[in-house]
Amino acid sequence: MEETKEGRAGGTHSKADRRRRYEPTAVYHLAETLRRRGIDLASRSGPWQAIGRALRRPGRNRIPVLPIVTNGMAQVMVDTMEHAQDLAGLLNWCGIEQLDPVPDLVPPATV
- pLDDT value of position 16: 55
pLDDT at 102: 64
User: Tell me, what's the pLDDT at 109?
Assistant: 75
Tell me what pLDDT residue 101 has: 67
What is the spatial distance between Cα 98 and Cα 70, in angstroms, rounded to a whole number?
9
How high is the pLDDT of residue 1?
40
* The overall pTM is greater than 0.75: no
What pLDDT is stored for residue 36 in this prediction?
93
Integer Cα distance of 52 and 68 in angstroms:
6
The secondary structure of 67-105, three-state, reads EEEECCCCEEECCCHHHHHHHHHHHHHHCCCCCCCCCCC
Name residues of the chain where pLDDT drops below 50: 1-8
Torsion of CA 94, 95, 97, 100, to 10 degrees: -50
